[in-house]
Amino acid sequence: MTMVYLEDQIAAQDGLQLNVYRWMPEQPAHAALVISHGWSEHAARYHELATWFTQQGFEVHALDHRGHGKSEGKRGHVDAWTDYTRDLETLRQTISHEYQYILGHSMGGMIAALHLLEYPNRFNAAALSGPAADVSYKVPVLKKLIGKIMSAWYPSLALKNKVDPNIVCGNPDVVRAYMNDPLNHGLVSARWFSDYLQQIERLKKEAASIRVPVAIWHGEKDELVAPWVGKQLHEGLQCSGKQFHTVENALHEILFEQNWQSLAGDMKVWLEQY
């Protein structure tokens, strides 16, 4: 199936310019899929996945979250995570298709879950890949305290968050590309971190109110967001059709592993039930 690839910008509610990508089949699509990317990366990394979904009859839309990719905003900073969800809703409102689904990875999975809370029933269903719905490594009390203090006094202070790219994905070509991608920034701000911790607690308390069907896929060997995080979110959900899947031998970026097409096929089948 042939497609048209478009890249443009839309204005967020506060005027920030957000970079947007659209993969549109030339034949009428039977559904629309929104991709919400992870921390430090950008939506263009999902070009191959988006192209695959387009070939299956979807129109696909994505944005670079503020402070990421080609979008405006200080790298790795938000005043509040509700900025992310509001931006996502701004993108969603540009889509006219009746059937709309969301696929969120890591931080983008957390943003997707928060969007389901704040904007109920906008999407028909949600597929989450290794959602960062908790911190799976022990954060020192001192670091939390410093983050809270700096969030109040110097909220946009940027800190380098070092991640070994070799634990991101088991595909060495993906790791190499990730390391050499100038749009991957590796930064978080004090306000980003302190509000993230608050949103984690909020999602734990309110997850049961999500009514949109949610399915979660999590890499068995994920060291960035441990599988128990996805399981914990799944257990807190009470929506009909909820599912949790462990992806055997996979690291964090399950949609970039060698067998990603099989996984994408599973997500497609599940989404199309709704």
Hey, is 10 helix, strand or coil? strand
Please report which residue ranges of 27-81 form alpha helices under DSSP H.
47-55
Beta bridge partners of 23: 5, 60
CA dist 160 and 158 (Å) reads: 7
Q: Can you give the pTM of this predicted structure?
A: 0.93
Domains in the chain with CATH codes? 3-271 (3.40.50.1820)
Backbone angles phi and psi of 92, in degrees to 5: -60, -35
Question: What does the pLDDT read at residue 165?
Answer: 77
* DSSP symbol at 168: T
Going from the first residue of the chain to its last (274 residues), give the mean pLDDT of each consecutive group of 10, the final group possibly shorter. Answer: 94 98 96 97 98 98 98 95 98 97 98 98 98 78 48 50 80 92 91 92 98 98 96 97 96 96 98 96
CA dist 66 and 91 (Å) reads: 12
CA dist 247 and 255 (Å) reads: 10
CA dist 213 and 237 (Å) reads: 9
